[in-house]
Amino acid sequence: MTQGTNLPRVGGYNQAVVLDAIRTAGPVSRVELAPLTGLTSQTVSNVVRRLLDAGLVTESGYAPSSGGKRRTLLSPRAEGAYAVGVQLDPGAAVIVVVDLAGEVLADRRVKLPDGAAPADLVARIAGAAQRLTARTRIDPARLLGIGVAAPGPIDGPAGDVVSPPNFAGWGRVPLREMFATATGMPVAMDNDATAAAIGERWIGGKDRAGSFLFIYLGTGVGAGIVLNNTVLHGDSGNAGEFGHIAVDADGITCDCGSTNCVGPYVSPAGVIGELFTLHGAAAAARIGLTGAADGVHRDWKVLRQAVRRGDPAACDVVRRAGRRFGQAARGAAALLDVSRIVLGGEAVRGIEPIICEEIDAAVNAMSVARVIRRISVEPSVIGEAVGAVGAASLILHGNYAPGWRMLTKP
Ligand SMILES: [Zn+2]
């Protein structure tokens, strides 16, 4: 892939804070930026000058006049920076090219062979990413790097994935280093749910400012946590292991050995299994499910279509999953004091209304929540590509948003 960028990093924390404020609140004037960032107007002025020189923000018009001098408005400059995002799942990878404004310029889904070695998967994805990037004709000097959203668990500081349950036979795989070698670009990696939460924060602007819990459903279930605009990683980079929150046990054993983890009850494979158990093979045949171990992706699509048609058996098992989501979300929301829960990921497409309804009922039934504030439960603003877009935003966020990287690696 094209060699990495020569753009100067927006060095320092203040620049990142100002750019993030422009992205989140923009279009916004210099005068408004001072109270938003807690910086003096002189500092804001200097920082904005540097952001303009670097081509990362643009003067986008004037605020309505209130008598005095008209204020120039600032917006992020979409073509100021780009990143590639990769969402890695068993069976497929989704690749996107995203600009600084969060617009997806190109996207592709690459099928991956079952049981392939990590090196083979990385080579296929790197090649596809290179072709996709070439197609967009963006300025290569402004392509900052490649973000990877990987299934957990990960060793965050090392950049490794460690025995992910959905990739049979994988031990400790140095995925970040492998992508860096294959692409020649800077690589940022995070677990898929946390990457999705960062993407949601990055794209969502005012609607995703503050604190929220992002519940992510792909092949498995996870969560990303944003508290007071800061992404929570935890000591090992695995904060938000939502799938292992305990709910009422009903006979399914998790990869971790427990019988009451929410994950296996609400994952696509679990819900499909529940349909066979509760409604029988006749209902499964009516819906068009195969029940094959290697047909989960297809079966899950068929089941969601049946939900949209109003099939009673399909709706029943999805609603049961929704109730378990709700049980787990209630505990998480009580612990975190978030006023918003966001639901996203490729696997929730089409069933968000039922799942959101059940989570809403569960989390807002708590008296403490009712008295203090109602928790809003909403689908992702990004949609099904949230993992890949989130991965791309790891690069843009890591470079430009006031996050943990800025503080730990000044
Ligand atoms: Zn578990």
Distance 136 CA to ligand 1 centre (A): 41
Distance 250 CA to ligand 1 centre (A): 14
Helix or strand or coil: residue 369?
Answer: helix
Q: What is the pLDDT of residue 260?
A: 94
**Cα separation of 74 and 81, whole Å?**
16
Q: What is the pLDDT of residue 410?
A: 33
What is the arithmetic mean of pLDDT over 168-180? 94
Distance 328 CA to ligand 1 centre (A): 13
What is the arithmetic mean of pLDDT over 317-326? 97
- Residue 235, pLDDT > 90, answer no
- Angle at the Cα of 90 (from 85 to 91), degrees rounded to 5? 95
Q: Taking Cα atoms as reference points, which of 367, 358, 347, 364 lies closest to residue 325?
A: 358
What's the pTM? 0.87
What is the arithmetic mean of pLDDT over 86-93? 91
pLDDT tens, residue by residue, 365-385: 865 656 677 899 999 999 889
pLDDT tens, residue by residue, 25-39: 878 999 999 998 888
Q: Taking Cα atoms as reference points, which of 86, 116, 271 lies closest to residue 185?
A: 86
**Cα separation of 343 and 351, whole Å?**
10
Distance 165 CA to ligand 1 centre (A): 11
Give the orientation angle of helix 175-183 with respect to helix 118-136, to 10 degrees.
50
- Residue 214, pLDDT > 50, answer yes
Q: Taking Cα atoms as reference points, which of 191, 177, 184, 83 lies closest to residue 127?
A: 184
Distance 405 CA to ligand 1 centre (A): 29
Q: Which range (160-164, 203-207, 222-226) has the least confidence?
A: 203-207
Distance 256 CA to ligand 1 centre (A): 4
Percentages helix, strand, coil for the chain, rounded to the nearest 5? 50, 20, 30
Distance 255 CA to ligand 1 centre (A): 6
What is the arithmetic mean of pLDDT over 108-128? 93
**Cα separation of 217 and 71, whole Å?**
44
The 3-state secondary structure of 90-156, one letter per residue: CCEEEEEEEECCCCEEEEEEEECCCCCCHHHHHHHHHHHHHHHHHHHCCCHHHEEEEEEEECCCEEC
Q: What is the pLDDT of residue 88?
A: 94
- Residue 8, pLDDT > 70, answer no
Q: Which domains does the chain have, with CATH numbers?
A: 7-76 (1.10.10.10), 82-201+387-400 (3.30.420.40), 204-382 (3.30.420.40)
Q: Which two tokens stand for residue 330?
A: 């209630």
Q: Does 96 or 9 have the greater pLDDT score?
A: 96
Q: Which two tokens stand for residue 178?
A: 């492998």
At 65, is the pLDDT very low, low, confident or very high (cuts 50, 70, 90)? confident
Distance 230 CA to ligand 1 centre (A): 26
